[in-house]
Chains A and B, each alone.
Chain A
Amino acid sequence: MSSVLTSRNVADVLGGITNGVIYSLVALSLVLVWRSTRILNFAQGAMAMIAAYIGFAVLAPSTNYWVSMAVAIIAGLALGGLTERVIVRGLYGKPEINPVVAMVGFLLVLESVAAAIWSTTSRGLPTPFSIVDWQINHKPVALSPFALYEIVTAVVVMTVIALLFQFTKLGLKLRAAALAPEVSRLLGVRVGRMLTLGWMLSSGVGAVTAVLVASNYFTGLTPTTMDGVFAFGFIAAAIGGLDSPVGALVSGVSLGIILQFVGDYLNSNDIILVALGMLIVSLMVRPNGVFTRSAQRRV
């Protein structure tokens, strides 16, 4: 039994899940704003990075991890709301290229601002749990207490979002505002406020993601910490379908596992190639995503 747990394939699966849940969170964050506002948020990673800096860099290193995490989440929620009100609101109904250019521009601005304020020197974030893998008979199982904490956190975040959308009145309003804004407005739903809330939730999820990434990836928090993670999360969202939260979850974790096997059995240098290859193939075969139910819903 112990030899199975420490075997190469199990190690790849466990490592893949740990990376994959992060991609899932990024994808979920993208899905949340895409569903409600039909905007691809290219600045998602950068917004998350700013929230993480506010939570951890602004506060002294002595501040409790959980307090910093809470501050990061609040900063994320606020940044998401502000972004929707100030930048995104003027983009509704404009040609499709406008939001794309605006969000890519916003990404560049945020990374530059972060570099100007906090410099590009990497900053270590505290870790509440050990990052050293558990061992069985002196052989590492590819899972550390911190990795488990990452997985549990991702599951909790996704469950909370799912419960909010499925079982609360607020969730119903959020879905209604996204699906049928005109009808919702007639029925008394304050659509604008719901859209802002959608962006806040997305950005809050992003903040949690950035804190997890910067704590665990051995390279610390830098203005570009989220660039790579965003790329993989974006690929996961595109493959899973930008309309599907379940798709985000499944394709993020699947992508993580597949890429871990690629890195192990082929070469780590092939990971990006394979990920981009998967994106191209999936867009050719199922352009609307594997998990999207209705392709043409918008009227």
Chain B
Amino acid sequence: MEVRRTRRLTIGGSALALSLSLSLITMGTSMGAASASTRAPKVPGVTAKQVTIGATVPLTGIASQGYSEVAKAANAVFTWVNQHGGVNGRKIKYVLKDDCYGTPGFGCTGNPNTVAQTKALLALPVFATVGSLGTPTQDSVRALLKANHVPQLFVNSGSKDWNNPKTYPGLFGWQTSYTTESKILGQYINAHFAGQKVCFLGQNDDFGADGLLGLNYVGVNPVDSVMYNVAGLVTGGGGYFTPFISKFQSDGCKVVVLDTIPGATDAALGNALALGYSPQWVISSVGADPVTVDAAFAGKPFPDPEIGAISFSYLPATSDPSVWNGWMRTVMANDKADFPNFTSTTPLDGNMAYGIGWGVAFVEALKAAGRNFTRASFLHTLMSTSFQTPALVPLRYSPTNHQGLNGGYIVKVTSSSSTSVLDRTVYTTGSTKSSPVVVTSKLSTAIPAWLQ
């Protein structure tokens, strides 16, 4: 009966591995059954009365904070459209598969295998995947979707990977790329904080790398650049960032640029607060949403430390007189299935506006494609449509550019639930060093009549 702890630990490890593989096997079996029972129609996912689309998104797990509501917000648009008769006589059915950002644990209740979840969507079948989230996760299914001729639309990430029309003709991004955004923020730093020391904290993937590159392109060279990893943040807690922020403080940085996800923004701001350090924060749109960032600071005996931070937006700020703001709230309040607690007074957060943005783009493309379309003709329409979306800059794709939006404006966080626009000047630029940052006249579009 003697039991050595070391052996127990080994057994524990094996047990974990065993339980994980068992769950994968179970899921694999159920998927096989699904694919065997379906019969592909003429245009996969399209019937006389319905278009079925899907997405793999982090509804639970490591990346679910804030991001779990993006695709649901897009579904609020689909619900709205369906209630008003659908698009060209068809209702939109949107199927979400929880892939937990491809990471098991951390409260994941889905299947943390993006490939398996994507195959489950293919088995339905779906006409296209629309608004799947994540750079590593969507990179892992690019080839699979291409091989099955399934369009991969409006991928939720600012990676440049989505703009590769030669290799992936069916792959399209949506948001302004990390590099483009950083170039515009960098230009703002040059104009308003000239000669001041800048420090940079970024995520150790293309988000941080492309962001730093964008700063460098416009001549902003941080004296201290640090890349953090998400797993470290989750295991180490907020204290994991103490040395980073402490170094920025001792280096005398007056401006700190954060290419961080919301939880990491919290950790950076909280550590600076503890150290009595208050630089000018410049935060990527990815991790600046005031509602999401402030949640961790609610109930604290000090004001939200994000107030005063500079950020970027390609969607209208809450204070912007854009006609879209009211419409987005109406659509959200209408979707009681996805947002039972959203009322006329609930603040519309950045994740919701983001999802609504490409939700609108999809229904517009579907309308423009007409009653009879194929996957090929739909993509052709997508590349020739001038969309009317809530975004500040026009959404235009072409056979050589699948990136999506290419600009936005500078905003300032003014409260724990709102941002204000500094001067409503909209800038656009490309992701390369040579393309200049140019001022564009305000290009926000009206709401299409049929959506009102």
Instruction: Give A residues with C-beta under 8 Å from B.
Output: 11, 15, 18-19, 38, 40, 42, 61, 96-97, 100-101, 104-105, 111-112, 114-116, 119-127, 130-133, 135, 138, 140, 142, 144, 213, 216-220, 222-224, 227-229, 231-232, 238, 242, 260, 263-264, 267-269, 271-272, 283, 287-289, 296, 298-299
Contact = CB atoms under 8 A, between A and B. Distances in A.
Given A100-B11, A126-B301, A271-B236, 7 more contacts: A111-B106, A121-B66, A127-B300, A144-B274, A217-B238, A220-B266, A272-B232
A122 B5 contact: no
Contact of B296 (A19, A61, A219, A287): A219
A64 B127 CA distance: 53
A227 B106 contact: yes
B34 interface: no
A105 B23 CA distance: 12
Interface string B270-306: 1101111100000000000000101111111110000
B9 interface: yes
B296 A122 contact: yes
Given A224-B234, A272-B232, A121 B65 contact: yes
A287 B5 contact: yes
A228 B235 contact: yes
A220 B204 contact: no
A260 B68 CA distance: 33
Interface in B299-330: 299-302
A120 B269 contact: no
Contact of A227 (B105, B227, B232): B105
Contacts of A19: 239
Nearest to A120: B64
Contacts, number: 188
Top 5 nearest A-B pairs (CB, nearest first) are: A218-B270, A228-B235, A218-B238, A220-B296, A124-B298
B92 to A, nearest CB: 26
Contacts of B432: none
Given A101-B15, A131-B270, A124 B297 contact: yes
A228 B236 contact: yes
14 contacts: A96-B3, A104-B19, A112-B107, A124-B298, A132-B302, A140-B275, A238-B5, A242-B5, A263-B243, A264-B246, A267-B243, A268-B236, A269-B232, A288-B5
A285 to B, nearest CB: 11
Given A122-B296, A219-B237, A268 B273 contact: no
Interface of B: 1-9, 11-12, 14-16, 18-19, 60-62, 64-66, 68, 105-107, 109, 204, 227-229, 231-244, 246, 263, 266-267, 269-271, 273-277, 292, 294-302
B65 A112 contact: no
Contact of B263 (A219, A264, A283): A219
Contact of B3 (A18, A38, A219): A38
Given A114-B107, A122-B296, A229-B237, A298 B2 contact: yes
Given A97-B11, A124-B300, A15 B105 contact: no
Contact of B266 (A42, A122, A289): A122
B319 to A, nearest CB: 23
Contacts of B2: 296, 298
A136 to B, nearest CB: 11
Contact of A287 (B4, B68, B240, B241): B4
A283 to B, nearest CB: 6
* Most A C-beta atoms less than 10 A away, residue of B16, B109, B277: B109
Contacts of B12: 40, 42, 100, 104
A288 B273 CA distance: 41
B228 A269 contact: yes
A251 to B, nearest CB: 14
Given A140-B275, A223-B107, A15 B239 contact: yes
A257 B12 CA distance: 28
Nearest to B238: A218
Contacts of B231: 272
B201 to A, nearest CB: 11
A125 B232 contact: no
A129 to B, nearest CB: 9
B236 A120 contact: no
Contacts of B302: 130, 132
A268 B276 contact: no
A120 B204 contact: no
Given A238-B9, A272-B236, A15 B242 contact: yes
B18 to A, nearest CB: 8
Nearest to B296: A220
B241 A268 contact: yes
Contacts of B299: 61, 124-126
A114 B301 CA distance: 26
A69 to B, nearest CB: 14
A133 B60 contact: no
A133 B276 contact: yes
B267 A218 contact: yes
A218 B60 CA distance: 21
Contacts of B235: 227-228, 231-232, 272
B13 to A, nearest CB: 9
Contact of B244 (A105, A122, A268, A289): A268
Contacts of B295: 121-124, 220
Contacts of B301: 126-127, 130
B60 A112 contact: yes
Nearest to B263: A219
A100 B231 CA distance: 24
Nearest to B239: A19
A121 B274 contact: no
A105 B66 CA distance: 26
Nearest to B3: A96
Contact of A218 (B4, B18, B266, B276): B266
B228 A268 contact: yes
